[in-house]
Chain A
Amino acid sequence: MSNDAIDPDRRTWIGIACGAGAIGTAFVAVPFVSSFAPSERAKAAGAAVEVDISALKPGQMQTVEWRGKPVWILKRTPEQLASLKKTGEQVADPKSQRNPGELTPEYARNEHRSRKPEILVAVGICSHLGCSPSAKLEAGAQPSLPDDWQGGFFCPCHGSTFDLAGRVFKNKPAPDNLEVPPHMYLSDSRLLIGEDKAA
């Protein structure tokens, strides 16, 4: 080590060199971090799915895959539809007002959260941490469920419950109702999930 005085000019150049190196490193990091983003192939894989629902009887539920997620199609009985009146008081967001743009298309912002009153189309992924709730369509007291259960969905991961319109009950871990995907009826028996505008 020399005992010479610090040469401020050299210090300046060292500072500039380090700064330039840091900027260069930041630029080089961009492609690496970007490579974490979904690939073009993953982005292209989100096509709409067409479903035949003619065989679906009242009270029955059908699950189809759309963008790697389960989509439920539930044909509700008149009693099940009537139960939504009772649960309206107990759910956190009965009128689907939270994040409506992402969760509930305009045509589903009603009590039954659907285009046709009896047919519920919802993404079966809990808005808490992404588990798929189990269908507990039978009304009445059951393990893990309240005694006045009207039928609905129960998430096994953290115990969130949803009514038969996919509306989350109050004071549950899940903050939001189940997502209603964009969908449209091509005919009475043909449902298109993933698109809601006539092409």
Chain B
Amino acid sequence: MADFKQAPAGASNADKLTLWTQNRFPTAFDAYRVHMSEYYAPKAQNIWYVFGALAILVLVMQIVTGIFLVMHYKPDASLAFASVEYIMRDVPWGWLVRYMHSTGASAFFIIVYLHMFRGLLYGSYRKPRELVWIFGVAIFLCLMGEAFMGYLLPWGQMSYWGAQVIINLFAAIPFVGPDLALLIRGDYVVGDATLNRFFAFHVIAIPLVLLGLVAAHIFALHDVGSNNPDGIEIKDHRDPKTGIPLDGIPFHPYYTVHDILAVSVFLIIFSAIIFFAPEMGGYFLEYNNFIPADPLKTPAHIAPVWYFTPYYSMLRATTDPMVNVFCAIVGLAALLAVWKGKLPGLAKVGVVIAAVVAIALLKTFDAKFWGVVVMGAAVMILFALPWLDRSPVKSIRYRPGWHKAVYGVFVVVFFILGWLGIETVSDGKTLMSQIGTVYYFGFFLLMPWWSQLGEFKPVPERVVFQAH
């Protein structure tokens, strides 16, 4: 145990109070040093580095507004829809709290997508930050669960049919699927039991997990140190006397000031949306969700909320012809491995057997099941990113020019898939989403190969920084 320190004679009352607290709760003071005043982040972090702080702001906002919504909301299939309208019309300022929460959900996804894209640009998932990235993807999964379960609570038409579709995704799993879906719903149809348990998950279970993961994400980050747009380690060049990285600056006050500016800009945009376009033309709050849930009638056009649509497109893209395409791709990959691959003979036999088994499985189970697998894999593949990227440099700045084009097309494909997910199906659009799905998976699965190709630029020793 640390010794009690004595206040020097003539110390002010404030100093005495600080010392009194420090003697009794040193952990708080240590945490402030480790995570704020003596956490050295690389200078020259650009605008892409504000989204972590913004994500924390939105998380806090969702928790606070959520607490106030729970005070008036009723998780009962016969009362839920009316209680949300009650919040909107009768509870003083209830509309504001609810719009903050519903807009906050979309804002959260915008921020998190940008935050993840930053990681992609600068290789922030590479060694030694693999766990930071993995915790981050787990946070993304939790957010998807939060968003999905929260969307059921208003008990509108989109709530009901959205939940019906997503729960039925689990029913597509061979053998255990139908029982699993029954266990999730707690009834033979989406009903009161489903609403109640989703409420429990949305307001307490997932938020607790989410908070734990956010803590792990930040602690792991602060253990290894933040990345920077040059993708180099600032810990390689330390001040010989203090051991502080030469290119590092204390998080507080330098980055807190940086983040406060971002918070201000964010709040201006966020307020504008809340006050002038809280439904965002049907993208943040879908029009059909202003109709109470009707188990007998699916709305003529149903689409998930925008942040799920890229994955939803991939689900819809997986039709029987698409499964045949997958079979062809597996077959070609195996042929290529046998023909060109530098593998021992036994491994080649293994590759052929694996490919035959994979094709047999693809043809055995319904395209419906493979659609679910594709949708799940599109998210889960992110966990593998630190090991898929074999590029000798981390940052996009020092990669070959055509890598930027590969990333650019990836972003465009992601947007197109997102747009297709809100559209009604047609043959042409299905084909587009199939091409998009193949590109999405090609981008990741072929990354070990293409990320090593091309002429890489020399990486600087120290971070590139222009004082201003």
Contact = CB atoms under 8 A, between A and B. Distances in A.
Interface of A: 33, 36-39, 42, 46, 63, 65, 67-70, 124, 128-134, 144, 155-159, 170-175
Given A36-B184, A70-B297, A171 B161 contact: no
A38 B183 CA distance: 7
B191 A129 contact: no
A63 B298 CA distance: 13
Contact of B321 (A39, A129, A171): A171
B424 A39 contact: no
Interface centre among A124, A132, A173 (most CB of B within 10 A): A173
A120 to B, nearest CB: 17
B189 A134 contact: no
Contacts of A175: 366-368
B268 interface: no
B187 A68 contact: yes
Given A42-B188, A70-B295, A156 B300 contact: yes
Nearest to A154: B300
Contacts of B424: 144, 156, 159
B187 A38 contact: yes
Contacts of B295: 65, 68-70
Interface residues of B, number: 42
A172 B319 contact: yes
A124 B367 CA distance: 21
Interface string B310-330: 000001101111000000000
B296 A70 contact: yes
Interface of B: 161, 164-169, 171-172, 182-189, 191, 193, 197, 295-302, 315-316, 318-321, 366-368, 371, 424-426, 430
A69 B189 contact: yes
A69 B185 CA distance: 14
Nearest to A36: B183
9 contacts: A38-B182, A129-B169, A131-B298, A155-B298, A156-B300, A159-B430, A171-B319, A172-B319, A173-B316
Nearest to B320: A171
B426 A173 contact: no
A158 B425 contact: yes
Contacts of A174: 368
B164 A131 contact: yes
A85 B187 CA distance: 38
When A and B form their complex, which 8 residue pairs have the shortest distance between CB atoms, in order from nearest?
A159-B425, A68-B189, A130-B168, A70-B296, A132-B298, A175-B366, A129-B168, A129-B165
Contacts of B165: 129-131, 157
A144 B423 CA distance: 11
Interface centre among A38, A67, A155, A170 (most CB of B within 10 A): A38
Given A38-B186, A130-B167, 10 more contacts: A68-B187, A68-B189, A129-B165, A129-B172, A131-B161, A131-B164, A158-B316, A159-B316, A159-B424, A171-B319
A175 B193 CA distance: 28
Contacts of B315: 158
Interface centre among B166, B168, B302, B318 (most CB of A within 10 A): B168
